[in-house]
Amino acid sequence: MTALLEMRDITKEFPGVKALDRVNLVVERGEIHAICGENGAGKSTLMKVLSGVYPAGSYKGEIHYDGALAEFRNLSESEARGVVIIHQELALIPQLSIAENIFLGNERAARGVIDWNETWRRTEELLAKVGLRDAPGVLVGTLGVGKQQLVEIAKALSKDVRLLILDEPTAALQETDSRKLLDLMLELKAQGVTCIIISHKLNEVRQIADTVTVIRDGATVSRIDAREGLSEDRIVRDMVGRDMSHRYPARVSDPGEKIFEVEGWSVWHPEQAERRVIRDVSFHVRAGEVLGIAGLMGSGRTELAMSLFGRSWGRNVSGEARMRGRPVDLSSAPKAIAAGLAYVTEDRKHLGLILDESLRFNTTLANLPGVSRGGVLNEAEETRVSEGYRKAMATRTPSVLQKVGNLSGGNQQKVVLARWLFTDPEVLILDEPTRGVDVGAKYEIYTIINQLAAQGRAVVMISSEMPELLGMCDRIHVMNEGAFVGELTAAEASQERIMSLIVAQPREQGAA
Amino acid sequence: MAVAETAPKAGELRAYLKTHMREYGLLFALIAIMAFFQIVTSGTLMRPVNITNLFLQNSYIIIMALGMLIVIVSGNIDLSVGSVMGFVGAFAAVMIVKMGAPIWLTILASLLMGAAIGAAQGYWVAYWKIPSFIVTLAGMLVFRGASLWLLEGQSVGPFPPEFQRLSTGFVPDLFPRSVTEPIGALFGQRNLNLLCMGVGVLASAAILWSGLRRRARDAAYGVAGEPARFFWLRNVVAIGALLFLTFKLATFRGFPNVLVSMALLTLLYAFVTQNTVIGRRIYALGGNEKAAKLSGVRTERLTFLAFVNMGVLAALAGLIFAARLNTATPKAGFGIELDVIAAVFIGGAAMAGGAGKVVGAVIGAFIMGVMNNGMSIMGIGIDYQQVIKGLVLLAAVIFDVYNKRRQG
């Protein structure tokens, strides 16, 4: 019998980037197949190719599904053949009931009139299958994330799924919910449903996967048969092992006194009152030091940074922050700026820039008093300041009056950096400073970061790219599920060590 | 010969015009509309008395458009301004006519009342994140009802003459008629208000001087600004129009008091929005609220203040309106909010916030005002007037969107 799915030499290019480079994936009938890889390795792109989000013709290579060449042009075509994908961000509508969500777009109806009896009866059947005991009429918004996940799976089952793809299904789940979900997957497997699971949690992969495919930098690295015995070390090595020489400018590291200190920092989720997202985090950073925070997406890095910077995220923030040994009030963004903190956000377009305004407007925004007297702006001074940063950072633009929305990612990032440098901060928190930035501009941004440290500023650098942290930082904290799980000096840090700290069995958090 | 040299320059000019179509378009649209009505009304539109009327009729809309621009730039809307204007007019009438309160106290109390109303609405919008559309829709109903209640369904008036002067008074000339009349005769007029004409000339000089200074500064920083031809064309047209209008006013009774307060407020708000820290932060707030907040802008407080400011201006408009009619009626201000909002959008503000200029809003208000006035002179029925005004608003916004798309 042939494999259920065979993806051969899949290559997908975006302007300037090769996201997938001749990836091969073979999924046998009735197995649970895990795909592992770092953030940005190309896992999600591969699944989008498979499900027709990127239609046939927009990629190179062949997909054979169920013994025939498949050329899906959109999601509904792939769903019609039983390929269903469940994304990390659930696609449910909170204001509708479970039954309405399950049959959304696939209503049990005759001539446009919904047959509610049939809908409810089918829903009850499906809910029994996934082990959910809530009534079909319950609003999805009132369910926890774990149950919502089950509703998604019930929805997939309603479409006669044959190949179920789960993208990081347990990332947002508590331990017990994760356990339930994994059991359900094994049950579905027994019923003949083939599963692809994308996961960072190697202990879970080890528990349920029959085969593992590791993807790195858009290429297949290895295909491991779990029945031969699966070693987490092997997967970690395959996930991260890549060459990284000369991609980072050299720096003389000379950390001085402790500038910024955080102790016992805890933050609760703004909507889910019982969820503690940051757990008792403590760290410090010295003058002239670059401190890295490693961790996967969703580990709480951004939430930590934003809660520090003016409590811009979460609620019930507790813990103490000290600047040069003295407690500081960081309870609003203006106070945080006044205390000498700067935060370069991860999401430039939505949280960083005002895209319709000019370079000049965006450069001076965080320090308008610096270019005004008595509340009246001095436009000439603004031009001088922004022109100065433009030259110093080699931002490529014809003029400082250019709209920042027209600049490339790297140049936009330089504008955000310039804005914060103009506030003359002592501590800079850089959240994914090179995301969406091309390789050349990355090097320039690294150089700027090194200059900042050389000026005696303290830099906290958050990044999903481990090589970047290893190449830039003096010290690295590893973060997982909202807590700091390990600290490594530059000398002892390696991608393998960071990854094994991240994927290590999470500590018991019964108190949470 | 010269053609070879100017050809690339013409391309540059076209490119500049393409990106700045909006600003020129608005000014020339106003001039075109005025010229059109001047012709079809056989010169009635530009008679000194009618020009004076035009200012008086539209003063309260323009004053409220200043506040509305700020509210809209901050990413909100205020539907209550018509009702608030009517309510404050009623409040002032009750104080003066029924209670015999002094005028200065009434004016002060009315403006404070406007601020309090703005604060009450702004509080819910800014700190509770309730959509401004809903909060001010509620305010519109509440204050409509409140003015009915305050006036007990009747018109209250008349006001003492000192209060009427707020709206219908004129700034007296500095020079005696024995000086001004002979000068007027030189221009074939009965009289010429020298103060009025002098201010017009000085204002023209100031506009030209500040424009030139700005150009010099841009040039010093190597910023490619407006091409010289456009600069001169725009200034000649604007200054020409200004001198023409002041001349017309000077031959009648000079500057109406309302025009002076309106002009000063326009200058003030143009300055605040374009040249101050608080103005800059309002544009940042409307452009990207989250980014502004993370850059240290106190977004809630700013939204709150935008509504307080709107309330004060609506109160001022209410006083002027009541003074002009010489009575406060329960129907005062009915539907005015829509004219104000339309003026701001015709003036190029964006519904989503973050874009729009004071000068644009004022020109937008004048476009509406001239059309109202011109169509009334022509004897076009109110039915057609509404249809035409609606279509003009739609056309202005379509023009905006079309321009944006073309720029890509």
pLDDT digits (tens, 9 = 90+) for A328-375: 999 999 999 999 999 999 888 889 999 989 999 999 999 999 999 999
**Mean pLDDT for the stretch of residues B285-292:** 93
Which chain A residue's Cα is nearest to B216? A380
Q: What is the pTM of this model?
A: 0.80
Which chain A residue's Cα is nearest to B300? A332
Determine phi and psi for A248, rounding to 5 degrees. Answer: -130, 135
Say yes or no: A174 contacts chain B, CB-CB below 8 A. no
**pLDDT surpasses 50 at B7:** no
ipTM score for this prediction: 0.85
**CA A62, CA A83: separation in Å to the nearest integer?**
16
**pLDDT surpasses 50 at A128:** yes
**pLDDT surpasses 50 at A507:** no
Question: Are A379 and B275 an interchain contact pair (Cβ–Cβ within 8 Å)?
Answer: yes
Among candidate residues A188, A234, A181, the one with its CA nearest the CA of residue A204: A181
**pLDDT surpasses 90 at B71:** yes
Among candidate residues B308, B330, B274, B256, the one with its CA nearest the CA of residue B58: B256
What percent of chain A has pLDDT above 90? 39
**Higher per-residue confidence, B116 vs B408:** B116
**pLDDT surpasses 60 at B331:** yes
Q: Which two tokens stand for residue B197?
A: 């004409």
Question: Are B276 and A355 an interchain contact pair (Cβ–Cβ within 8 Å)?
Answer: no
**Smallest CA–CA separation between A323 and chain B, in Å?**
19
Question: Which band of pLDDT confidence, cut at 50, 70 and 90, is reported for residue B3?
Answer: very low
pLDDT at A417 (0 to 100)? 94
**pLDDT surpasses 90 at B117:** yes
Strand order in the sheet with A458-463: A341-344, A427-431, A458-463, A290-294, A475-480, A483-489
Please, which residues have CB within 8 angstroms of residue A360's CB and are 6 or more apart in sequence? A382, A383, A386, A400, A401
Of the segments A35-44, A145-154, A237-246, B130-139, which one has the largest average pLDDT value? B130-139
**pLDDT surpasses 90 at B126:** yes
* Geometric angle at alpha carbon A167, from A163 and A168, rounded to 5°: 135
Say yes or no: A383 contacts chain B, CB-CB below 8 A. yes
What confidence tens digit (pLDDT) does each residue in A164-194 have?
999 888 776 767 788 888 888 999 899 889 9
Long-range (24+ apart) CB contacts under 8 A made by A448-451 are A448/A393, A448/A414, A448/A417, A449/A290, A450/A249, A450/A251, A450/A290
Of the segments A48-57, A107-116, A282-291, which one has the largest average pLDDT value? A282-291
Do residues B266 and A339 touch, judged by C-beta distance below 8 A?
A: no
pLDDT at A506 (0 to 100)? 55
Question: Which band of pLDDT confidence, cut at 50, 70 and 90, is reported for residue A15?
Answer: low
Which chain A residue's Cα is nearest to B274? A377
**pLDDT surpasses 80 at B347:** yes
Mutate: best of A351, A368, A406, A420, partner B, most B CBs <10 A: A368
Do residues A222 and A214 touch, judged by C-beta distance below 8 A?
A: yes
Question: Are A380 and B296 an interchain contact pair (Cβ–Cβ within 8 Å)?
Answer: no
Question: Which band of pLDDT confidence, cut at 50, 70 and 90, is reported for residue A17?
Answer: low
Say yes or no: A387 contacts chain B, CB-CB below 8 A. yes
Question: Are B275 and A380 an interchain contact pair (Cβ–Cβ within 8 Å)?
Answer: no
Say yes or no: A271 contacts chain B, CB-CB below 8 A. no
**CA B196, CA B201: separation in Å to the nearest integer?**
9
What confidence tens digit (pLDDT) does each residue in A466-480 have?
888 988 999 999 998
The amino acid at residue B283 is: Y
What percent of chain B has pLDDT above 70? 94
**pLDDT surpasses 50 at B6:** no
**pLDDT surpasses 80 at B15:** no
pLDDT at B4 (0 to 100)? 39
Pairing label, strands A290-294, A458-463: parallel
**Smallest CA–CA separation between A129 and chain B, in Å?**
42
pLDDT at A170 (0 to 100)? 77
Question: Which band of pLDDT confidence, cut at 50, 70 and 90, is reported for residue B235?
Answer: confident
Question: Which band of pLDDT confidence, cut at 50, 70 and 90, is reported for residue A509?
Answer: very low
Nearest to B291 among A354, A375, A376 (CB): A354
**Mean pLDDT for the stretch of residues B99-124:** 96
| Among the ranges given (A38-42, A166-170, B25-29), the one the predictor scored with the smallest mean pLDDT | A38-42
pLDDT at A1 (0 to 100)? 58
**CA B168, CA A474: separation in Å to the nearest integer?**
74
What confidence tens digit (pLDDT) does each residue in A207-248 have?
889 999 998 888 888 888 887 777 777 787 787 765 445 578
The amino acid at residue B76 is: N
Nearest to B293 among A333, A372, A376 (CB): A333
Q: Which two tokens stand for residue B246?
A: 């002041």
Backbone angle region of A131, left / alpha / beta, with phi > 0 → left and psi within -120 to 50 → alpha: left
**pLDDT surpasses 90 at B70:** yes
**Higher per-residue confidence, B313 vs A58:** B313
pLDDT at A511 (0 to 100)? 36
Question: Which band of pLDDT confidence, cut at 50, 70 and 90, is reported for residue B180?
Answer: confident
Nearest to A419 among B224, B293, B295 (CB): B295
Pairing label, strands A60-65, A68-69: antiparallel
Which chain A residue's Cα is nearest to B281? A365
Question: Which band of pLDDT confidence, cut at 50, 70 and 90, is reported for residue A508?
Answer: very low
**Mean pLDDT for the stretch of residues A197-209:** 84
